[in-house]
Amino acid sequence: MALLPPKNRLWWNEPLHRMEIVWITIAFLWGIAMFSTMIWWHIYGEQNLSNESYRILPEVYAERVEAMIEEYQVGEDEFGMPIVRPPVGADVYLQARLWDWSPILELVEGETYRLHISSLDWQHGFSLQPTNINLQVHPGYEMVVTLTPNESGEFGIVCNEFCGIGHHLMTGRINVLDREAAKAAGMQLAAGE
């Protein structure tokens, strides 16, 4: 009867039943195996990003985004969102806020960038489609991802962290130029052919 305390109060002095020690051993080894899988998958799964994160004030982050837009803007889309073409290898800044991703970055296939992502106001979720790269984006912290686009085209960004009434409208874009187009546009490329 479980309502009353057991007769023998010092249950930890009781010898373990063989079956019990077998199950404890199995559970322990399984736990170790599952834990090792996380490390193994991080290295060989090619899925988890090795990103860095730093503290930054939203105002300071906004200034860096503004400065980059001012320096490298090449146009704007039909909604007035600036299109920015930073030099290859640069630190590039993407800003999340209620409810847009700013600016539209134009990167070059095969070139490596440090992509900074942060939020000015609230928690958002960076989800790059169709490659399915996902990051949580918080105000006060910037995520830095070292990224080398391996195919050209237009990539969509959606917010995948519910952030209010305009959440479903919170989309953005990264354009990846192919190397020929970038050269034709007069860009200086760094990576070898």
Give me the least distance between CB of 167 and Cu ion, in Å please: 5
Give me the least distance between CB of 42 and Cu ion, in Å please: 26
Rank residues 170 and 174 by Cβ distance to Cu ion and give the closer one: 170
Rank residues 124 and 138 by Cβ distance to Cu ion and give the closer one: 124
Give me the least distance between CB of 7 and Cu ion, in Å please: 60
Rank residues 95 and 152 by Cβ distance to Cu ion and give the closer one: 95
Residue 71 backbone zone (phi > 0: left; psi -120 to 50: alpha; other: beta): alpha
Give me the least distance between CB of 84 and Cu ion, in Å please: 20
**Nearest CA to 137 among 168, 93, 189, 79?**
93
Give me the least distance between CB of 120 and Cu ion, in Å please: 11
Residue at token pair 């799964």: 45
Taking a C-beta distance cutoff of 8 angstroms, is the pair 91, 116 a contact?
yes
Rank residues 107 and 170 by Cβ distance to Cu ion and give the closer one: 170
Strand-pair partners of 53: 143
Rank residues 108 and 137 by Cβ distance to Cu ion and give the closer one: 137
Rank residues 72 and 93 by Cβ distance to Cu ion and give the closer one: 93
DSSP per-residue codes, 64-78 = HHHHHHHHHEEEE-T
Strand-pair partners of 113: 147
Give me the least distance between CB of 63 and Cu ion, in Å please: 21
- Residues at the site binding Cu ion, with contacts judged by CB under 5 A: 124, 159, 163, 170
